[in-house]
Amino acid sequence: MIDLLLPDGAVGCEAYGDTDDAPYPGEEDLIAAAVPGRRREFVTARRCARQALGALGHPPAPIRTGPSREPLWPAGVVGSITHCAGYRAAAVARRTDVGSLGLDAEPNTPLPDGVLKSIARPEEQDRLVGAPGISWGKVLFSAKEAVYKAWFPLTGRWLGFEDASLTFGPGTFRAAILIDGTRTDGGPPLTTVSGRFLVEDGLVLAVAVIPE
C-alpha cells in the first residue's frame, strides 16, 4: 500500500499486525512506562523502520527520539513513522534524493463530533466533498499530519492545523503554508507542501514530500 505513494528514492515497510518481540536494544527506555498495546505498536513500527533503513544499506541500530519525540534518523537520511489501529509503517530516503517526507495513517472512519471544526479552516470544509465511502475529514486530518511531519525536520517549528490550507485532486493534495516557512538548513522557505493519499482496506494513508 505504502509503495503506491512514495516518491522515487524512498523505501517503505508496513505491517498489519504486531510483533511480540522485545524492544530493540537501546530503545527500551523509550517505552518503559508504556502499556502493552503501545509497546507492541512501537516495537513493530521501529522494526519496519529498521527494515526500510536496511534497504538503504544501513545496519540495524536503535532509533532514538528527539525533544519533540520525532525519530532520529542516521546522518543523511530522512524518514517518517506512523501507526494506527491495525497498521504500522515507516518510510525513509537519502537526503540527497528527498528533502523531507511525512507519513500518516488513520482508520477510514468518521471524525468524532466537533473535531472537523478544530482541524479544518473554513475554506477547507467547503472542499471536503468527493467519492462516497471515504471519510474526507480523516483524509484532511491525515494529510495535515503528514505535512507537519515533513515540515518539522526542516524548520524545527510547530505547524498548527490552522497554519496550512489544503486543496485536493484525485489522490493528491497541496498545502499552502500560511506562516513563516524559513528553514534551519538555509534552503528556500517552505510556502507549499505537496503529497498523495490513498484510501484502501479501511485505511487512509497520506504521504507529504518536500523535494531536495
For the stretch 158-178, pLDDT in tens is: 999 999 999 999 999 999 999
Q: Which pLDDT score is estimated for 163?
A: 98
Average confidence (pLDDT) over 12-32? 95
pLDDT at 129: 72
Residue 161: per-residue pLDDT: 97
Banded model confidence at residue 85, pLDDT cuts 50, 70, 90: very high
Rounded to whole angstroms, the Cα distance separating 76 from 122 reads 39
Q: pLDDT of 178-194, one tens digit each?
A: 999 999 999 999 999 99
pTM, two decimal places: 0.95
Res 101 pLDDT > 90: yes
Work out the average pLDDT over 81-107.
97
Question: What's residue 212's pLDDT?
Answer: 83
Q: What is the overall mean pLDDT for the chain?
A: 95
**Residue located via cell numbers 509503495:** 3
Residue 104: strand pairing partners = 206
The residue among 200, 185, 202, 201 whose CA lies nearest residue 210 is 185
Give the model confidence (pLDDT) of 119-153 as tens digits. Answer: 999 999 888 877 778 999 999 999 999 999 999 99
- Mean pLDDT over residues 96-121, rounded? 96
**Sign of dihedral through CA atoms 40, 141, 204, 180?**
negative
Helix, coil or strand: residue 168: strand
pLDDT at 133: 86
Burial class (CB in 10 A: 0-12, 13-18, 19+), 46: buried
Statement: residue 86 has pLDDT above 80: yes
